[in-house]
């Protein structure tokens, strides 16, 4: 059987620069079935889903539904739901946790503040607290969006849960169906594709140790796609593994070419040239879609700058 995932893998389509951008993730537990647009086609009140979608537009907050791996009872009434919020920008990375019996409480959140990295609104409205458990491994499993997410994602999520990964959740949508199984790790916000359970466990161990595993990485959701590719290229060039050390401080240019400035906490600066190309030959971006040429981010050059030039560039 030919699927978008098989074709993408066979053509060795690059993963870097394909993560869904989101400075802040807001996750609401919703058991039961999910439709293609899960916020308005699940057992969550569709009016609430539409209002939340609209309220988060342009704020830097990306909202998604989550559920525990396994069989999903078709339950309409949920006594208590888990809620998470995570900010992924280096220098202000955090993951907060709460529970609620009334998901409409989320409408009281200050989404602009949440997207800007302030956790106070989450704590005040939902009695949030720092998450102290394992890092979260959010596996995309929504087969109504793409069959690959169900066929490949759900077994991965189930395997992780069965092996004792407490932070394993199914999530509604991470983008990039053709890279299934895809997953996101929080709090750092790095997305991965074509994942297998042993690799996921290695990645989660890295998160516990404050490290980023670059193998299979699609990029950090903290950045737009040129920045994702640039940051990963700097990590590859330097061997830097520490999670909270690199920041995309500038992106100059417009598609199809950018110069991205990446800064290290130790003062080093790199200028990374990224070009947008088309993935050829044409392929499906999702099962059932027409043939197309998905955009890819190609790193053309990584250049470390001398300190005076670096300081001038960052100050501009």
Choose the weakest-confidence range: 33-42, 119-128, 289-298, 306-315: 306-315
Report the largest interatomic distance among the alpha carbons of the chain, rounded to a whole angstrom. Answer: 62
Summarize pLDDT for 133-191 with one digit per residue, the tens.
Answer: 999 999 999 888 888 888 898 999 999 999 999 999 999 988 888 899 999 999 999 99
Q: Across the strands, what pairs with 276?
A: 297
- How far apart CA 11 and CA 228 sit, in angstroms, is 21
Pairing of strands 183-186, 190-192: antiparallel
What is the value of pTM for the model shown? 0.93
Residue 53 token pair: 């979608």
């Amino acid at each position: 059987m030919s699927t978008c995932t098989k074709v993408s893998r066979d053509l060795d389509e690059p993963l870097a620069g394909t993560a869904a951008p989101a400075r802040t993730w807001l996750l609401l537990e919703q058991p039961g079935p999910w439709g293609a647009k899960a916020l308005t086609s699940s057992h969550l009140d569709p009016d609430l889903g539409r209002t939340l979608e609209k309220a988060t537009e342009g704020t830097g907050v990306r909202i998604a539904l989550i559920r525990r791996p396994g069989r999903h009872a078709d339950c309409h009434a949920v006594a208590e739901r888990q809620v998470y919020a995570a900010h992924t920008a280096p220098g202000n990375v955090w993951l907060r946790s709460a529970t609620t019996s009334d998901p409409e409480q989320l409408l009281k959140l200050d989404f602009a503040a949440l997207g800007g990295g302030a956790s106070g609104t989450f704590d005040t409205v939902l009695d949030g607290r720092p998450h102290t458990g394992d890092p979260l491994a959010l596996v995309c499993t929504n087969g109504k969006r793409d069959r690959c997410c169900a066929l490949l994602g759900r077994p991965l999520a189930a395997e992780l849960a069965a092996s004792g990964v407490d932070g394993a959740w199914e999530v509604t949508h991470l983008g990039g169906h053709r890279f299934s199984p895809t997953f996101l790790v929080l709090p750092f916000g790095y997305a991965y594709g074509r994942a297998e359970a042993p690799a996921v466990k290695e990645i989660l161990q890295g998160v516990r140790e404050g490290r980023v595993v670059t193998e299979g990485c699609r990029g950090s959701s903290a950045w737009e796609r040129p920045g994702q590719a640039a940051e990963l290229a700097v990590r590859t060039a330097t061997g830097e593994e520490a999670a909270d050390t690199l920041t995309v401080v500038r992106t100059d240019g417009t598609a199809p070419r950018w110069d991205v400035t990446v800064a290290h906490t130790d003062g080093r600066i790199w200028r990374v040239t990224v070009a947008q190309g088309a993935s050829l030959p044409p392929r499906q971006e999702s099962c059932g879609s027409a043939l197309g040429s998905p955009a890819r981010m190609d790193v053309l050059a990584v250049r470390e700058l001398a300190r005076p030039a670096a300081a001038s560039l960052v100050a501009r």
